[in-house]
A and B are shown apart, each in its own frame.
Chain A
Amino acid sequence: MAHIKVERRSMRPEEWIKLRFGWLKREIYSEKHEIEDFRIREARQTSEMNFEFYDEKPRPLRRGDMYFTPDGTAFIEADYELPAHLEGKKFCFALKTAAEMIVKVNGRYVGGIDPNRERMNLSEYVDGRKLHFEIMGYNRSKPDDERNPESLSVRGCRQIFEGGYITVVNEAVTSLVYDIEMLLDAALSGAFNEDFSQLVIDALDKALNFIDFDDIKTEDVRKASAFIEENVFSNKDYSGSGKVALVAHSHLDIAYYWRRIHAVQKNLRTVLIQLRLMDKYPDFKYAHTQAYTYETVEKYYPEVFAELKERIAQGRFEPVGAMYVEPDCNVPSCESLIRQCLYGQSFFREKFGITVDNCWLPDVFGNSWILPQILKKSGVDYFVSNKMSTWNDTNRFPHNNFIWRGIDGSEVYACVPPTHFISWNMPSQVADNWEAYQDKNTGSATLQMFGYGDGGSGATEEMVELMHRFDKLSVMPETEHMTGKEFLHRNFDGNEKLSVWDGELYLEMHRGTFTTKSNLKSFNRKLEFMLREAELLSVLRMKQGVEYPAEKIREIYKKLMINQFHDIIPGSHITPVYRDAMADYEQMEKELSDIIGEGNRYFNSLNFARKSLTFIPDKNGSVIRRGVNGYYAIPSIPALSCGEIVNEKAEGWFECNGLNAETPFYSVVFASDGSIVSLKDKELGREWVKGDFNKLKIYHDTPGNYDAWDILPNYKDKQENIVTDKPLELLKYDDECAEFSATLVTAKSRWQRIIRLFRRSRGIEVENIVDWNEKHRLAKVEFDCNVLSRELVCDTSAGFIRRETHRNTSWQQARFEVCHHKWCDMSEHGGGVALINQGKYGVSAENNVMALSLLRATIRPDPTSDIGSHDFCYMIYPHQGDFVDAGINNVAFEYNVPLVKADVECGFSFSDKLWLQSLKLSENGSMIVARLSEQNGERGTLVLPQKAKILNMLEDEIGAATEIEYAPFEIITLGFEL
């Protein structure tokens, strides 16, 4: 018997409802008066508050005209006389646009319009009938939020002007529209009980029958609303479960598909829109992150800042996130993350009198294990970050509300909300959140953020209106609108049922961001250490009567902070953002070089004696390293002291026969491509090489839409053919160093490898001079080590993390590419191999093979990403004992901190068991601050040169001591009287 599928071709009740709902929405305005006097000047933003204009004078802008240009900002003006009958009445300004507009009327910032909202209340903010409009509009080919289909449909650089209007809202129609919006979502989303959905559809169908759509009358609309009230909202037969906290928030990427100069106005628009919602809805509260964004409002829009301050004092506009920006939490160093808190909290304290007790990072790409201690010591007890729950590609992160234990054992309350940080407050989204919430049995509520974002925008009137209706919908979880702080305190404080997550918060996605745009990463590393150098030397020069350049250093640090934003340093941005960052970096490098200055003697800024072979720049030097002439020497300068470098003459330390080389440490057999076939350790009497070792491999890297962000595990499936163009040959050798060179080519790129063997170092340095013209490729250098190890030890910048290298479970399988800082190491009892880098963060390890990620070639969002010349070094460092015995961390510091020339005296030192992470003048200028971190996982006693104040990371005094017992991975901040 043939099966015939029954298919309904006639209109279903829900389709009939939707059709009539569309007609109803057309009646939202009871009056609409067109403003016909618009004038426009097209421009392009060149800095935060400067613009290049295309037109000398404004041109008329009429409905149907084209407006906006690529990367364009438009200044639109109009003068309008309000109809007499509207005086004293409520009216709005309406303008449907794909652009983001800040609207000023009669000299006052009155609100914002964007693809997520087409009208703003006006009558409350203007007097008289004469209205002068000044609109600043910024148009993007990529809308704020790609999740809003309406904004997606109007994307594009050039738009058609649809006219601007003074409108009067029909409150009865609008209210019914919100009712239906909410009920249609509840009924059709599938998130709720089927019988309830049927009840809603039946009721809506009947309710809309009260309205004659050929002649819509307000009394009929009210009848429809009353019918819904009686038949749906009064029905309590259906009950929902759960508790959901609703926190209004807007995510604002400081740079992404826009430059940071544009974030100033994106932020202002967002702030204005939320302030206006507060005017309209007395219960509305909103959470806003990033001290930097507040700073820009204060700097450029003081009148809005004054209003903002008032709302903050009332507890309605809530600064959340203690940090200066929302930084990437993989690549920045420990000291950078501390400064994010220090500069963020300093601003909030100074301007608003508050210390923000939460860290709010909804969009960051995983979180380093060092964070809990930093947060705890920066006045932060709560941590919020969304991505692990919604973006993990392999494992479901097992908690949403929990305790996060850090590398040193510090604990913070942590919330990884079950759903996305951008939602538009639909009943189904609230229900989905509760459904996905995994810590129901702790008795705590789940966090639902609502508001459009990425480029700001935030909550809308519709979201608030729907929220006000949620308690009428018995089928929904219990909801409560609150601040972020209220949610965190109420649900975490003293909750003994919370589970503990002890480890990093690794995001199982976006693994490419450790490598994409390699120049940014290496520059960031360099500047982090230059800032340490600049502060330390400035403190020492204070003793010589030189003023500490506090303002300048703070300014440079803040610029570094901004460029550590989670779509800048990870490389997930458009071309101009990269250019801006590089320009910032070059300027910072110059300014820091000026502060570091020059001297006659070499100064060792490390708090341990320099014992490793170091490259000393010297125009007469015979080695050219990264384009700089110099030579290698062992400085032998004690901690925090000056000294001279003595060159030793040495002969007969090196022998070479073709691809075979002999040094005091090794018998090396090279392959012609620069890989190492055999590395026999003469001291330890062992072979370090098992398979491909120092082997360059270029993989096809095609992760799809998240091109700059992701590396997929299948990258290993296909390799690019690499040809040896110039086989390895000895270039030269001197008293300390022997240099080999090999040049490899692909169809598009050229890769010179300079390999350096040393007389007095176990290290083998590899310099890579690359002309990189690939697309969708990932270059790695692989090391198949003759070491039995089941873990890769990785530097975090403040201690190490051990990561398993087997693939036993999905958790290890997912961590096929991880972030590390200066070094990684694979050891067995007796010895191991470390890889030390100068700005490479991505690394993979499987069994006894580790592979450092060197370069990527992605095309989205930046089609030019990483194309061009590169010159970078890494060091292979086989060693005796484990990485602690071998002092790998110190070797890595010596490799990353160049020796400087400075005529300073220190006169004191700190234990070389701890790393002197920072020596600076306190922010208030009253003391010298020294920050020491334990990095080897050891306990000990720190004896201080004099009695010191014990500080938290915000430089608040919390005690005093002359001796401190320290614990593994502890970070200690001390204050010394000037």
Chain B
Amino acid sequence: MEKYINEYIRPRLQGDGGEITFVEEKDSEVTVLLQGECSKCLILDRCLKWVEERIEADLGKNVRVVGIRKKPYFQDV
């Protein structure tokens, strides 16, 4: 899962100015850290849903993806 997030999902989010880092996979929940543009995205849930869909399509795993946002200090208001 970590490899998949880093090698498949991450470049795509980086392409939009975002950043995603794998944190942990526990039971059927995958936790990721979101930085850059992702950290302040108003519609992040849609993107995480897409990540879930990709994981299911490519890894055959049905998981819930939980995002932790880490905003830059200058946007953390």
Contact = CB atoms under 8 A, between A and B. Distances in A.
A140 interface: yes
A576 B72 contact: no
A863 interface: yes
A707 interface: yes
Interface in A156-176: 156-158
B15 A71 contact: yes
Interface string B6-20: 000101111111110
Interface string A831-861: 0000000000000000000000000000111
A156 B72 contact: no
Contacts of A70: 9, 12-13, 15-16, 18, 47, 50
Contacts of A702: 73-74
A157 B9 CA distance: 13
B74 A705 contact: yes
Contact of B35 (A44, A155, A859): A859
Nearest to A262: B15
B37 interface: yes
B55 to A, nearest CB: 14
A69 B38 CA distance: 13
The winner among A66, A158, A259 for most chain B CB atoms within 10 A is A158
Given A71-B12, A705-B75, A863 B35 contact: yes
Given A70-B47, A71-B11, A157 B75 contact: no
B37 A142 contact: yes
A895 B76 CA distance: 45
Given A69-B50, A70-B50, A574 B17 contact: yes
A413 interface: no
A158 B41 CA distance: 11
Interface in B19-77: 19, 35-38, 41-44, 46-47, 49-50, 72-75
B36 A863 contact: yes
A522 interface: no
Interface in A57-105: 66, 69-72
Nearest to A862: B36
A576 B10 CA distance: 11
A141 B75 contact: no
Contacts of B50: 66, 69-70, 157-158
A582 to B, nearest CB: 14
Contact of A157 (B11, B46, B72): B46
B19 A157 contact: no
Contacts of A749: none
B47 A157 contact: yes
Nearest to B39: A863
A575 interface: yes
A257 B17 CA distance: 6
B47 A860 contact: no
B42 A704 contact: no
B36 A860 contact: yes
A707 B71 CA distance: 13
A156 B35 contact: no
B12 A156 contact: no
Contacts of B35: 859, 863
A864 interface: yes
B11 A576 contact: yes
A71 B41 CA distance: 14
Contacts of B74: 702, 704-705, 707, 860
Nearest to A66: B46
Interface residues of B, number: 26
Contacts of A72: 12
A578 to B, nearest CB: 10
Nearest to A160: B46
B15 A576 contact: yes
Nearest to A69: B50
Contacts of B43: 156-158
Contacts of A44: 12, 15
A157 B48 CA distance: 11
Given A707-B74, A863-B35, A574 B15 contact: yes
A542 B36 CA distance: 51
A69 B36 contact: no
Contact of A155 (B11, B12, B42, B49): B42
Contact of A576 (B14, B44, B46, B49): B14
Nearest to A70: B12
Contacts of A141: 16-18, 37-38, 41
A707 B72 CA distance: 10
The winner among B11, B49, B50 for most chain A CB atoms within 10 A is B50
A861 B18 CA distance: 9
A862 B16 CA distance: 11
A751 to B, nearest CB: 24
Contacts of A776: 73
Interface string A771-804: 0000010000000000000000000000000000
Contacts of B41: 141, 155-157
The winner among A141, A156, A574, A576 for most chain B CB atoms within 10 A is A141
The winner among B12, B15, B37, B73 for most chain A CB atoms within 10 A is B15
A572 to B, nearest CB: 12
B47 A156 contact: yes
B11 A158 contact: no
A576 to B, nearest CB: 5
B65 to A, nearest CB: 13
B30 to A, nearest CB: 16
Contacts of A69: 12, 50
A288 to B, nearest CB: 26
The winner among B12, B18, B37, B47 for most chain A CB atoms within 10 A is B37
A704 B77 CA distance: 12
Nearest to B19: A863
Nearest to A776: B73
Contacts of B37: 141-142, 257
Contacts of B72: 707, 859-860
A574 B12 CA distance: 12
B18 to A, nearest CB: 7
A789 B73 CA distance: 39
A862 B72 CA distance: 11
Contacts of B11: 71, 576
A881 B14 CA distance: 52
Interface string A108-142: 00000000000000000000000000000000111
A859 B38 CA distance: 13
B41 to A, nearest CB: 6
Given A66-B46, A69-B50, A142 B17 contact: yes
A574 B13 CA distance: 10
A575 B36 CA distance: 10
A87 B69 CA distance: 53
Contacts of A257: 16-17, 37
A57 to B, nearest CB: 15
The winner among A69, A259, A707 for most chain B CB atoms within 10 A is A69
Contacts of B16: 70-71, 140-142, 157, 257, 574
A259 B47 CA distance: 20
Nearest to B37: A141
A618 to B, nearest CB: 39
A794 B2 CA distance: 48
A156 B50 CA distance: 13
A157 B20 CA distance: 14
A423 B35 CA distance: 31
23 contacts: A44-B12, A66-B50, A69-B12, A70-B50, A71-B13, A72-B12, A140-B16, A141-B37, A141-B38, A155-B42, A157-B13, A157-B18, A157-B47, A158-B46, A257-B17, A575-B14, A575-B19, A576-B11, A576-B14, A859-B36, A860-B72, A862-B36, A864-B19
Interface of B: 9, 11-19, 35-38, 41-44, 46-47, 49-50, 72-75
Q: Which 4 A-B pairs have the closest CB atoms?
A: A71-B15, A158-B46, A156-B43, A141-B16
Given A142-B17, A157-B47, A863-B36, 7 more contacts: A69-B12, A157-B43, A158-B46, A158-B49, A158-B50, A859-B35, A859-B36
